[in-house]
Chains A and B, each alone.
Chain A
Amino acid sequence: MPPYAIETEALGRIYKIRGIKKEKAIRRELVALADVNLKIEQGELFGLLGPNGAGKTTLIKILTTLLAPTSGMARVAGFDVTGSPNLIRPCINMVSGGESSGYGLLTVRENLWMFSQFYGVPSKEAYHRIDELLKRVGIFDRRHTKSSDLSTGLRQKMNIVRGFMTDPQVLFLDEPTLGLDVGASREVRGLIREWLDANKSRTLLLTTHYMVEADELCDRVAIINEGRVLACDTPSALKQRLQQDALFEIETTPLNGLSLANLETQPGVRKVSCQEVDGGATLNFILKEEAALAVVINSLTAARVNIKKLSKHEPTLEDVFVELVGHSMADMERSSMNG
């Protein structure tokens, strides 16, 4: 039995971005992953937490043998991803959020049966597993529905079943609850936990940009940004990092040009992030001590920004992310969408 279900050492991936065909020379390089060192034990539910473009999907692609690393080493189920992909493939499966795999003209059951055959599951066993899993995710009554007639949520549940159906040693879920409503997300999270608890030899690596999901589900979490792992620990240990700090959320009227940089230079302020909302802003402060709150309030008042609501809260993974990266995940995703 391998010591780790997943192990990476100094793993890196650089994409070479080429210009138009006439310009054969490589124009620039994009570092998608740099020096990633992870050791994930068998039976662990491990979360990769980061904004879009952080490198989560690139890492999953390398671990699922779909992409070669440009440096370093990665092993899954004890086998090297570059040297022995054929030994890894029978042990793994992957589901991505929002994927549209399968064929619309086939029913849910037929699509799932087809994918089970690519893993060598005998048909009788495959149908048994499919029916059980469809019941578990609550879409057994839709088993004879063409997959093109499914809603996004139901389709994602079908995809989740596809991942579990082959009973892999290591399962990769890339944003599994993307596009699901609250109830469906909860059901999927329940299934994930149940599947892992049923057999301690199973391991699950989950990527998400939902902090609450990572906090609720994962045994350990790695926070990743710009291709680098910034921190890796249990959710409670990560939050413990901020236990000495005072965390405040302040809802205000529009900021009237008051810059975050200005607020961050105030004495006692460690980090601040801002989410602009209609008719105002929500500011999240990490303060070295509670006394610094007075300075913050004075700064806001001086800038003619009115405080609508002020609350103190316990550290969350979102706060840990802000502390590590300097921005909230929502901020980063907004700025990446704006180019």
Chain B
Amino acid sequence: MGEQDAAGGKKNTGWRLFWQSVIARSYPRIIGQQRDLSWMLFEVIMPLGSVIAYVLVYRALKAPEEYVGFVVIGGAMTAFWMNVLWSMSTQLYWEKEQGNLALYIMAPNSMMSILLGMALGGMVATILRAVVIVLLGSLMFGVQYVVVSPFEMFAIFMISMVALYGMGMMFASAFLLFGREAWAISDMIQEPVNLITGLYFPIKSLPFWIAAAASVIPLTLGLDAMRQLAFPSGFKLGFLSTHVEMLVLAGLSVIFLVGAKLLLDYTEKLAIREGRVTEARR
């Protein structure tokens, strides 16, 4: 599929344009952000600091050794959560401030391709950070992994990422709509979310209904399932069976992606009707 521009050059349309845009918008995150090495401090060293603190506490309390591994995986997943909460969610807002949003809306590609590109770029860039955290944490504390089903582990990880970044895509439109109010809410929920999603302890330790409510955040079940699959005694400490958790995560993925699309369409309509969303604050 394609069409011609004024000079007769061919241009892609339809799905080719969609994926071309996804790849292009992921580029600044995958390539561009690596040029600013401050990520080493904010996205590796600082999460690793929390991991070290929790491991020292668990060891002092003589907790089961699996808990050390739980904390390392939790530390790695924190990188994704932070990326979704503070980078993915705020991105459209910053795009507006920078003047890119109007250019994105005006371009012939779909805005979903832009959002998906941001998510893909953020995810790929954060995988690198997460791998560094897992490697350093595991080496420092001698964590041993026994992955029973690598395929299932990979599937859980991928579906968790789709659900998590789907939520980020939805948040991105919400931030754009509500601006600083959304900011304040994110700031307010950050620590409670860190607690209820079980980033540094098994979610099963929480009362059932709190853990069930926390499962709305894809990080909770994704993390729980990965811990179950990565450690021999993980199943004993798991909240639900990995198959149920995978199904819930698949459901959440659909809900968040559809929600993101609907909210984005609404935001774009509002932008065009009221003319305030593409306008940077001056």
Interface residues of A (CB under 8 A from B): 13, 15-16, 58, 61, 64-68, 85-86, 89-90, 92-94, 96, 99-103, 105-106, 110, 113-115, 117-122, 125, 129, 146, 166-169, 199, 201-202
Contact = CB atoms under 8 A, between A and B. Distances in A.
B106 A66 contact: yes
Contact of A119 (B11, B23, B35, B114): B11
Interface of B: 2-3, 5-7, 9-13, 16-17, 20-21, 23-25, 27-28, 31-33, 35-36, 98-100, 102-109, 114, 271-275, 278
A93 B6 CA distance: 12
Contacts of B271: 66
A90 B108 contact: yes
Given A105-B32, A120-B16, A120-B109, A66 B7 contact: no
A89 B107 contact: yes
Given A13-B275, A61-B275, A114-B27, 10 more contacts: A90-B13, A106-B28, A106-B32, A110-B31, A117-B20, A117-B21, A120-B3, A120-B12, A120-B20, A121-B12
Contacts of A68: 272-273, 275
A114 B24 contact: yes
A118 B7 contact: no
Contact of B5 (A16, A67, A106, A167): A167
Contacts of A120: 2-3, 11-13, 16-17, 20, 108-109
Contacts of B272: 65-68, 85
Nearest to B19: A117
23 contacts: A58-B275, A65-B272, A66-B102, A66-B105, A66-B271, A66-B272, A66-B275, A68-B272, A68-B273, A92-B106, A94-B106, A99-B99, A106-B28, A110-B27, A110-B32, A117-B20, A117-B24, A120-B2, A122-B12, A129-B9, A166-B5, A166-B11, A202-B6
B5 A64 contact: no
Contacts of B106: 64-66, 89, 92-94
Contact of B9 (A13, A90, A113, A167): A167
Given A103-B28, A103-B32, A110-B32, A119 B108 contact: yes
Given A106-B27, A167-B7, A89 B108 contact: yes
Given A65-B272, A100-B99, A168 B27 contact: no
B273 A90 contact: no
B103 A115 contact: yes
Contacts of B102: 61, 66
Most buried by A among B5, B98, B275: B5
Contacts of A168: 5-6
Contact of B99 (A65, A101, A117, A169): A101
A228 B266 CA distance: 31
A224 to B, nearest CB: 18
Contact of B108 (A110, A118, A125): A118
A19 B35 CA distance: 44
Given A118-B108, A168-B5, A168-B6, A67 B27 contact: no
A13 to B, nearest CB: 8
A113 to B, nearest CB: 7
A199 B6 contact: yes
A106 to B, nearest CB: 5
A129 B6 CA distance: 13
A122 B17 CA distance: 9
